[in-house]
Amino acid sequence: MSLPKTISPCPILDALFEIRFSTKMHPDAVFGLIYNALQADFGESENLPILQLPEAVRAADPGFRFKPHYRIFNQYFVVQIGPDVLTISSYPKYSGWTVFSDKILDVLDKVDKVGIIDSIRRIGIRYINFFGGDIFKDLNLKISIGENSIENRNTVFRTEIEQTDFKSTLQIANNVNNQDRLGSILDIDTFRENGLENFFLNKADIIGNGHEREKELFFSLLKKDFLTTLNPVY
């Protein structure tokens, strides 16, 4: 299947790579060690709101696990760091996969050299896209009750899809407000939780394969007539 290299206007609100890991380091030491390794490229830093919660509350709620505590950033990228999680975003403007993947690999190389990661629990590649109007009518997706299609103004759809050695969590919602513009969100989180024992040795291939799975799912969802309106370049 031939996939477009770009579409225009670009619908990507955020592109994010996430790595969840285990470490023998004290949780409070993780940020400082990673920040020291990345400080030359990401001089700006700030605490995230989760740190306003008492540590006992964060520890007791599973929903707060794998949530970043700190944010460092530059003009093109954002890195968020927690005791057992690291995310890299191409934000506020998507830089394209070639530039973004190069930055992901660069950050991971520097983090690997710090030596704080014992094992990888999960890696994920997530793209959040925004489209004006109701996206459901333009998708190769049918949601129905009996023989009646669901065409409601407030619809949220979520499912998990198996893709060989990856899985993808697909979420779609209409009637979403983005900067005072109503439209729809198409959110794909493609992840892998197994076979990551040698991740740092094979990271380029693993991340590249994950990106391909995400991209294949995204374009398989778009009807041909709708894709044509997005000016695809192959």
Tell me the pLDDT tens digit for each residue of 121-174.
999 999 999 999 999 999 999 888 888 777 777 899 999 999 989 999 999 999
Q: What is the pTM for the complete model shown?
A: 0.93
> Band of the pLDDT at 56, cuts 50, 70, 90?
confident
- CA gap 209, 207 in Å, rounded: 5
Statement to judge: residues 88 and 168 lie in one domain: no
**Sequence-separated (6 or more) residues with CB below 8 Å from residue 228:** none
Statement to judge: residues 133 and 203 lie in one domain: yes
Kindly state whether residue 91 falls inside one of the protein's structural domains.
yes
Cis peptide before 62 (omega within 30 of 0): no
Statement to judge: residues 206 and 128 lie in one domain: yes
Q: Measuring CA to CA, which residue among 84, 64, 80, 70 is closest to residue 23?
A: 84
Torsion of CA 173, 137, 94, 32, to 10 degrees: 20
Kindly state whether residue 2 falls inside one of the protein's structural domains.
no
Statement to judge: residues 130 and 219 lie in one domain: yes
DSSP per residue over 139-171, as a string?
BS---EETTEEP--SS-EEEEEEEETTEEEEEE
Statement to judge: residues 165 and 231 lie in one domain: yes
Helix (H, G, I), strand (E, B), or coil: what is residue 190? strand
The pLDDT of residue 182 is 93
Q: How many other C-beta atoms can be found within 10 angstroms of the C-beta atom of residue 215?
A: 18
Domain that holds residue 40: 24-117
Greater pLDDT, 64 or 91: 91
Kindly state whether residue 174 falls inside one of the protein's structural domains.
yes
Q: Residue 175: which region, alpha, beta or left (left: phi > 0; alpha: psi -120 to 50)?
A: left
Kindly state whether residue 1 falls inside one of the protein's structural domains.
no
C-beta of residue 188 within 8 angstroms of C-beta of residue 214:
yes
- CA gap 168, 225 in Å, rounded: 25
Kindly state whether residue 96 falls inside one of the protein's structural domains.
yes
Statement to judge: residues 142 and 66 lie in one domain: no
Statement to judge: residues 144 and 206 lie in one domain: yes
Instruction: Name the CA radius of gyration of the chain, rounded.
Output: 19
> Band of the pLDDT at 1, cuts 50, 70, 90?
low
Kindly state whether residue 173 falls inside one of the protein's structural domains.
yes
Statement to judge: residues 73 and 157 lie in one domain: no
pLDDT surpasses 80 at 62: no
Average confidence score pLDDT of the chain: 93
Statement to judge: residues 140 and 104 lie in one domain: no
Statement to judge: residues 215 and 163 lie in one domain: yes
Q: Which of 117, 141, 159 is the last residue of a domain?
A: 117
> Band of the pLDDT at 14, cuts 50, 70, 90?
very high
How many angstroms separate the most distant Cα atoms in the chain? 59
Q: Which of 90, 117, 144 is the last residue of a domain?
A: 117
Work out the percent of the chain whose per-residue pLDDT is above 90: 80
